[in-house]
Amino acid sequence: MSKLLKTMLGAVALTYCVSAHAKPFTNEDAIAEANSFKLVCGNHDKARCEHDQKIFIKEYQSAYAGVFEAQREVAYAIWKYRDPENAASQIGACAWQTIAMSSSSNSKVPSDDDRTKKMCQFATADKKSSLAIQKRVEQIKKIIAIHTVYPADFEVFDFIQIDYDKDVSDGADSAD
């Protein structure tokens, strides 16, 4: 078979494979997913809550882009403003915190371990929740690894430096 024919067949096969797959997860998908979390201000400081809600969408996109600080802040915002009756919020907070803690970031602080224990404590007693969290963590890691979500533009960062997690964003599983 000629080299040209092989190249053409390869291009056709590649086109077929790409078109057969579902649409990639994008920033728009991240925004829709972030909006599905109903952040509840409740007894929290209203001004702070409203501020956190405004930046949550941007942090959520940046979390999927592999930004460590955004992953940590997304976990905390979901946890802090969750509806205690909403299991999806508890799973989401624990999953994002697990992602952040599996990072090789130098920006981790001792309180991150305490947050993880607090956010994920419900899962230790419930095998169904534990499996749901593991599944969610794997979904998030796959999306981060394909690099189809990009960091959102922030007018003001609440953190000093962006720390892209090379392990998670490159698809390596450093949690094992």
3-state helix, strand, coil in the chain (%, to 5): 65, 0, 35
Write down the pLDDT at residue 3. Answer: 56
On whether the CB atoms of residues 30 and 61 are closer than 8 A, the answer is yes
The residue ranking higher by pLDDT, 93 or 4, is 93
Task: Dump pLDDT digits (tens) for 80-139.
Answer: 999 888 888 999 999 999 999 998 888 888 888 999 999 998 777 788 888 999 999 999
Burial class (CB in 10 A: 0-12, 13-18, 19+), 41: middle
Residue 90 CA to residue 83 CA, distance in Å, equals: 9
Write down the pLDDT at residue 168. Answer: 47
- Answer whether residue 17 shows pLDDT above 90: no
Domain-embedded: residue 19: no
Domain-embedded: residue 106: yes
Report which listed range, 22-26, 110-114, 168-172, is most confident: 110-114
Domain-embedded: residue 3: no
Domain-embedded: residue 9: no
Task: Dump pLDDT digits (tens) for 41-81.
Answer: 999 999 999 999 989 999 999 999 999 999 999 999 999 99
Which range of residues forms the domain containing residue 88? 25-169
* CA of residue 119 relative to chain centroid, distance: 15
- Answer whether residue 25 shows pLDDT above 90: yes
Domain-embedded: residue 12: no
**Confidence band for 154, pLDDT divided at 50, 70 and 90:** low
Domain-embedded: residue 120: yes
Domain-embedded: residue 17: no
Number of domains in the chain: 1
- Answer whether residue 29 shows pLDDT above 90: yes
- Answer whether residue 173 shows pLDDT above 60: no
Residue 159 CA to residue 62 CA, distance in Å, equals: 13
Domain-embedded: residue 13: no
